[in-house]
Chain A
């Protein structure tokens, strides 16, 4: 497997060159970071160069890095992470592209390159509020009709803002402010890398 990864890494260097901002090889996977300005041409190269040959877009998702590592994150807040698969060459690649503006995250759409990105981009828009210029039908997909906000952002509470119930007097479903108190049973803890020595256990 590692020889294969080596070959993929060389091919990536050959075709993409400076377009790769950062490349990482870990856990048998290659991840590359791409700048938003070079995003579309990189993706096109990845699909059309036969020694890269990523004919399938397997997954595309948004990530909100704002609370990463309990506040040690200094980079951009939103990223779009794409997983590509090559059936012909039997390898995978992860492409990450940070949205330049934290207040209005926007990353070009790849629907024209891979039609399977359609709903994934709608999902990332719905849950993270990342906008995909070039997407013809960027509607909400998973949340309720008339939903306000982007629920997977880290500043959106798990309990949400509204709850609904049937009101027998008005004889319809009504929305009210949420009554659940937020609580955390197991706190989130980031330990130093050698804590507990998981590797040598």
Chain B
């Protein structure tokens, strides 16, 4: 009898379900995966090495480009690392703004995730709905920073500027009639917070809509339930964090357990899964969107009534106001020093972690007292989750590989760095 050999299949790097540039060598026995070997690094840009050659502040925009689906959260970890080493305090209003944008980012990330995961598994509609809602949130990004994705809005010492009083408006053109523009601009007539408030009050119903499409959907459940089960012990052993760990039933969330900024003043719950399969991780992420929405509401209420500074007045770290710079010699010198030599961070090392939408995102920085980091290590959650790919897919059918890639929520910007 002829010897039947395992079939080796090359998945990606140019595959729509590979979520970027994942190349995976799959060893198949019939339709069953025996071994998976992910090859990564196709998007490796050596961010950590580049950061060693830039001043501390110049690396902030690099952080956006790590996980390009949750931009501001990565900035947050980086800014917090610098703040902790220098030992400066962030104004309370800036902390609320940061938390608010962290949660906007979390919703942005999870919306894309639920859309892309749906698309992978066969629910075409989800991605269209998810992008409709993402549009409002990237508008929020644009309103505060001018950029829809790579904001560079968080700065060491606070945030770049306060929330705007007006929202950018649509203008009449040959593609948009006056009536259409009027309708589009209705929610944009007030302040930034009014615009976000409108989204926050609509969003719970929108999530309900998503759930009617997916949660009890027979096909969705057939593809997800009991697929990729990870026990709590294995999840810890494999270094899982974020929704991947909570899906396995461990209530670990840095926002609660090692609270940073003003998360300890806010009221929200941590959803956990029971069986640790892909379906539980889906439910966890859906519930996280609802909880993020709750946090957003509390931030809006607080920010409406509490004006104040949004960036530290320590001008050795944060740039002075443009107006003062023009009239005040000392501030001009500060600005000049910051823009040429940059800030100096005292010698030492720090690990600052935030609860990123995908898990624990950490920045380990070593400074030798120079104006540039000596070593910067980015601990990205996706990297660790993807390293468990082999264990996740082993023994599953080849179609489930796509489900597993989806459930990990991988983005190659942060995995390859």
Question: Is A142's CB under 8 angstroms from B342's CB?
Answer: no
B44 touches A191 (CB 8 A): no
For this complex, 28 residue pairs linking A to B, each with C-beta atoms less than 8 Å apart, are A27-B348, A27-B350, A29-B351, A31-B349, A56-B236, A56-B239, A57-B239, A59-B351, A63-B375, A64-B375, A81-B364, A83-B364, A87-B250, A115-B237, A118-B387, A141-B40, A142-B41, A142-B417, A144-B41, A152-B48, A184-B53, A186-B55, A186-B342, A188-B371, A189-B370, A197-B316, A198-B86, A201-B314
Q: Contacts A151-B49, A186-B55; is A58 near B369 (CB within 8 Å)?
A: no
Residue of A nearest to B377 (CB): A61
Q: Known contacts being A116-B387, A118-B387, is A190 close to B350, with CB within 8 Å?
A: no
When C-beta atoms are compared, the residue in chain A nearest to B391 turns out to be: A115
By size class, the interface of chain B is: 35 or more
Q: Does B268 contact A (CB under 8 A)?
A: no
In the complex, whether A173 has a CB less than 8 A from a CB of chain B is: no
- Residues in A102-142 with C-beta less than 8 Å from chain B: 114-116, 118-120, 140-142
* Given A68-B374, A83-B379, A115-B388, 8 new contacts (CB under 8 A): A63-B366, A116-B237, A119-B386, A140-B41, A186-B341, A189-B370, A198-B317, A199-B346
User: Which residues of B are found within 8 Å of A59, using beta-carbon distances?
Assistant: 351, 362, 364, 377, 379
**A→B interface (CB under 8 Å):** 26-29, 31, 55-59, 61, 63-64, 68-70, 81, 83, 87, 90, 92, 94, 114-116, 118-120, 140-144, 151-152, 158, 184, 186, 188-191, 193, 195-199, 201
Determine whether B238 belongs to the interface, using a CB cutoff of 8 Å to chain A. yes
Chain A, residue nearest B369 (CB): A190
A198/B387 in contact, CB under 8 A: no
Which residues of chain B (351-399) have a CB below 8 Å from chain A?
A: 351, 353, 360, 362, 364, 366, 368-372, 374-375, 377, 379, 383-384, 386-388
Q: What is the CA–CA distance of A92 and B236 in the complex, to the nearest angstrom? A: 14
- Write out the residue numbers on chain A whose beta carbons fall within 8 Å of the beta carbon of B370: 70, 188-191
Q: Given the complex, which residues of B lie within 8 Å of A144, measured CB to CB?
A: 41
Q: Is B10 an interface residue (CB 8 A)?
A: no
For residue B258, CB closer than 8 A to chain A, the reply is yes
The answer on a CB contact under 8 Å between A27 and B84 is: yes
For the complex, give the distance between the alpha carbons of A144 and B45 in Å.
11
Residues of chain B with a CB closer than 8 A to A94's CB: 349, 351
